[in-house]
Amino acid sequence: MLPGIISKSIVRRRRRKLLSLVAVALGMTVTTTVGTIALDVGDKVNRELRSFGANIWVTPAADSLSVVVGGVDYRPAGAGAFLAEKDLVNLKKIFWRNNIAAFAPFLEVPARVETRSAAVPTVAVGTWFDHRLQVDKTETLETGLKKLHPAWRVEGAWPADDDLAACLVGERLAKRLGVGLGQGQVASGKWQVVRLATNHSPLATSTGAEAATFIVRGILDSGGPEDDQVLVPLESLQKIAALEGKVRRVEVSAVTKPDDAFARSDPSKMTPEQFEKWSCSPYARSIAYQIEQAVPGAVAKPVFQVAEGEGRILGRVSLLMWILVAAGLVAAALAVASMMLATVLERRAEIGLLKSLGATDARVAALFLLETSVVGAFGGVAGYVTGTWLARSLALRVFGSPAAIHWVLFPAVVALAVAVALAGSAVPLARALKISPAVALRE
């Protein structure tokens, strides 16, 4: 009997129930869209922020050891330890290896770059441009400057790592040298070349120099100190400087979780339970700690300007999205309340008749709550379908790949839709239960 009463009530008042259903569906659409983005696109947003550059720097631990006697630092200028290039594969063997988006080693050597018309002292930087790193028998990682700094602009082409005679020249340095590119070539149809001369070893005291000729494949515009430098394949500079297999530092781009008070805790003072929780959270500090354990003789430190900037952006975007969710849910509840109030006023006689026939307040409330639950459930289903489609469309338009369908959200969205509908009907229902049967029937 009760299902028949509810179905007939919904059919007789189709327009009002449809408006309530649409209101709930809109609120659930926003909720589903934000939930899908939070589950699936959150990492994509974080990876897009990786265009800011590295957020963890890895340097030799020996660099942090001072040699100070009587207040005087006796370390020679330019001195420094090195990391072994062969150990860099360990970066992809830590617990958070999947969060390591890209990394590149750097070897910096004072040099003199020459062309036919000019000679300028500069810094030669050996690095990976587009490197294929064999992690194990089944996994290969593509990394290097192209992945680490996707925002850098190159006029011409990125050099290949196996092209040991190729180089990139910084924009400001290129102007001083008079080096330019048409479509990667000069008017004569030949690539422009520069001659790079460095000391045989950066720690040597001799004045002898090793020199090599490099083909300018591109002009680099980074907006940083690289615009005054020349970048060459790491292997080339290692041979010229007699530093085979060595690197000076490593810049790492990792997908991290924004820092909070717990992230800034000292690991040495944590309990085992706290340390396990800290290690199992992708904070920049916890990833840096694992890098230190994996790379012998290394010290890893987060670049706090980058990490905190990303954290603020993600935090504000997240706050904005949840504000939109709250606004959508409140609007849906108010719309349901408005429709329910109109229904109560319209059905005063029906309510009075039910009470005069012996229906208790609980039975009357159950009748209206069941109607509202049905509307809320259908609104939740419609909102989930629409929200999932919208989230996939937004992800495809913004990130180039659609978001996944998360069925785990479906029961949660339907339950939330029913709860919002019931919350919106609370005040009108309380008013309905106060209707006197005698007054309602007399009117």
Residues 122-167 pLDDT 10s: 899 999 999 999 888 888 889 999 888 888 889 888 999 988 889 9
> Does residue 306 contact residue 151 with C-beta atoms inside 8 Å?
no
Q: Copy the structure tokens of residue 424.
A: 């919106």
Give the residue-averaged pLDDT of 12-38: 78
Cβ atoms within 10 A of the Cβ of 162, count? 11
> Does residue 179 contact residue 194 with C-beta atoms inside 8 Å?
yes
First to last CA, the chain: 27
Neighbour-count burial for 10-25, b at 16+ CB within 10 Å, e otherwise: beebeebbebbbebbb
Read off the amino acid at residue 417: A
- What CA–CA distance (Å, rounded) separates 421 from 374? 9
Identify which of 393, 394, 391, 385 has the alpha carbon closest to the alpha carbon of residue 417. Answer: 385
Helices 409-424/304-346 angle, 10° precision: 50
> Does residue 378 contact residue 417 with C-beta atoms inside 8 Å?
no
- DSSP lists the bridge partners of residue 138 as none
Distance, CA of 369 to chain centre = 43
> Does residue 232 contact residue 214 with C-beta atoms inside 8 Å?
yes
The residue ranges of every structural domain in the chain are 2-47+311-442, 55-257+291-302
Q: What is the pLDDT of residue 295?
A: 92
Cβ atoms within 10 A of the Cβ of 118, count? 12
The SS3 call for residue 260 is coil
Q: Are strands 72-73 and 68-69 parallel, antiparallel or unpaired?
A: antiparallel
User: What is the overall mean pLDDT for the chain?
Assistant: 78
Q: What is the pLDDT of residue 7?
A: 62
Backbone angles phi, psi at 87, to 5 degrees: -85, -10
Tokens 């259903």 sit on residue: 21
Cβ atoms within 10 A of the Cβ of 295, count? 22
Q: What is the pLDDT of residue 51?
A: 58
Q: Are strands 230-233 and 209-221 parallel, antiparallel or unpaired?
A: unpaired
The SS3 call for residue 195 is strand
Q: Has residue 219 got a pLDDT over 80?
A: yes
Residues 366-404 pLDDT 10s: 777 787 888 888 888 998 999 889 888 887 777 666 777
- What CA–CA distance (Å, rounded) separates 413 from 211? 67
Q: What is the pLDDT of residue 84?
A: 93
Q: What is the pLDDT of residue 291?
A: 93
Residues 420-429 pLDDT 10s: 888 887 777 7
pTM (2 d.p.): 0.65
Read off the amino acid at residue 372: T
> Does residue 107 contact residue 243 with C-beta atoms inside 8 Å?
yes
- What CA–CA distance (Å, rounded) separates 27 from 419? 12
> Does residue 287 contact residue 96 with C-beta atoms inside 8 Å?
yes
Give the residue-averaged pLDDT of 40-45: 59
Backbone angles phi, psi at 182, to 5 degrees: -90, -95
